[in-house]
Amino acid sequence: MKVLIIGAGAVGIGIGASLKCSNVDVDFITSTFEVGRAINEYGIARKGLFGNVAIAKGQVGVYEEYAKLPKDAYDYVIIATKTIANLEVATKLSEAEACMKDTGVIVFMQNGMGYEAPFLEYFHESSLYHSRVITGFKQEVINESTVTAHQAPILIGSIYGGDLDIVRPLADAINKSGLPAQVDEDISIALWDKFIYNTTLNPLGAILDMSYGELAENDYAHSMLDVLIEETFAVIKAANCRTYWASADEYRDELFNNLIPVTGNHRSSTLQDIQKKKKTEIETMTGSLLAIASQCNVAVPVHTMVYSLIKAMEEKF
């Protein structure tokens, strides 16, 4: 098995180290010279929960240009960039499509909804697979990824009815490394599960500079989380979407009693981006929710405010 990971951030490094630990050949595409140099000089590592995995230098490949990728090489291409890069990534990957085997597929490991749209311009939907990643990764050293929180296994599946046997070896390899992963026959429900979680916690945590646990413990933040959940479930109902939760109240109980207690110390990727003065994935998270709400004629004033605040913060960068 040979895997190309596009994006050497916290998720990409963490997944790459996990796969290499399971004897999978791994290459990276990174547009950041410093990250590529660090990988070449020091290798990569996954630390934190589930143990430490260290991959020595020279054990993974690094490319800065798509044109230099080997031909007919990759069984899987994992998209682990921020979603704001997807149009550029889809275009460049389509120009280098020969790097993928005839049976090769693309697997998204990203936040939000609708991020696959640019890829549908170039690739058939049968070659696109999604994943739900609700494991918290943090990149404190540029060639290392630390697992800071974990809620449930990584799930990989197809929203287009694709053959799950195609991605089963990938899930098995990640799981073998100690990082729980499996295929899921109805990934769309799992994606909504993560979408609710992300749109509730990520932007508010970034605005208030709080971890998930701090949001839950602060009375004022907690009340805002309550309203965000209520608005989201109004959209879900109007859009006739399926989730694991029958109501906003049921989800609140799960979030505050079960989910946040095991991820309380995690600081969201949106907060990490803001602290690094980087553009966030707000468009494919809250932005996507606002678009669905508009289509369904549902008012979501608090989500709208949160979206506007993040966009205002980004304008300073």
pLDDT score at 262: 87
Pick the CATH number of 2-185 from 3.40.50.720, 3.40.50.10190, 3.10.310.40, 3.40.50.1000: 3.40.50.720
What three-state secondary structure class fits 46? strand
The CA-to-CA distance between both ends of the chain, in Å, stands at 40
> Could you tell me the maximum CA-CA distance found in the chain, to the nearest angstrom?
56
Strands (E) located in 73-230: 74-79, 100-108, 128-132, 135-138, 144-150, 154-157, 181-183
Q: Check: CB of residue 98 under 8 Å from CB of residue 71.
A: yes
pLDDT score at 79: 98
Which run of H or of E encompasses 111? none
DSSP category for residue 70:
P
Provide the CA 25 distance to its chain's centre, in angstroms. Answer: 22
pLDDT tens, position by position, 103-157: 999 999 999 999 999 999 999 999 999 999 999 899 989 999 999 989 899 999 9
pLDDT score at 32: 86
Under-50 pLDDT residues of the chain: none
Q: Which CATH class is domain 189-314?
A: mainly alpha
Q: Check: CB of residue 206 under 8 Å from CB of residue 270.
A: yes
Place of tokens 């929710």: 289
**Nearest of 181, 191, 186, 180 to residue 164 by alpha carbon:** 186
Tell me the torsion sign for CA atoms 139, 133, 173, 78: negative
Question: Which sequence spans correspond to the domains of the chain?
Answer: 2-185, 189-314
